Copies of this chain bind each other. A is one copy, B any other.
């Protein structure tokens, strides 16, 4: 550790240790919660997290979404969504309907069963999340929301600068 004359830590010219520690903490935090949610979904409903997430996207709309929309919203690859939808159609939770005007496009919807099951899961899920964040005050939450929004913006700026 480098200290100056007043015994205060001094930054090295290229020390990015604080950012790195922040990233590791963010990752740890998310992994921890994600694992907890995954376990509860599995244990309580026998459903996987990706399937739950996909159904959550579809629950927000009434008239269906395309596969491309889903992959953008979920931030996963196109091929990934193809497989997920396939399995959820198979199990009767989803419904696919080819567009009349563009035969490449498929509209994916929750079936009656799918929506009913999702709503049941979502209600519990929301309580789990509330409990998981239960030690945070409303002010903590607001502040975290604000800082994460800033971090997200920063990351998007950085990503855009890389790929052009």
Contacts and interface: CB of A to CB of B under 8 A. Distances in A.
Given A22-B141, A141-B19, A147-B147, A29 B155 contact: yes
A102 interface: no
Interface in A38-95: 40, 75
Contact of A158 (B36, B154, B161): B36
A155 B36 contact: yes
Nearest to A16: B130
A36 to B, nearest CB: 5
Interface string A126-138: 1111111111101
Interface secondary structure of A, over-half rule:
helix
Contacts of A119: none
A144 B141 contact: no
B18 A144 contact: no
Contacts of A156: 32
Interface of A: 14, 16-23, 25-36, 40, 75, 126-136, 138, 140-141, 143-145, 147-159, 161-162
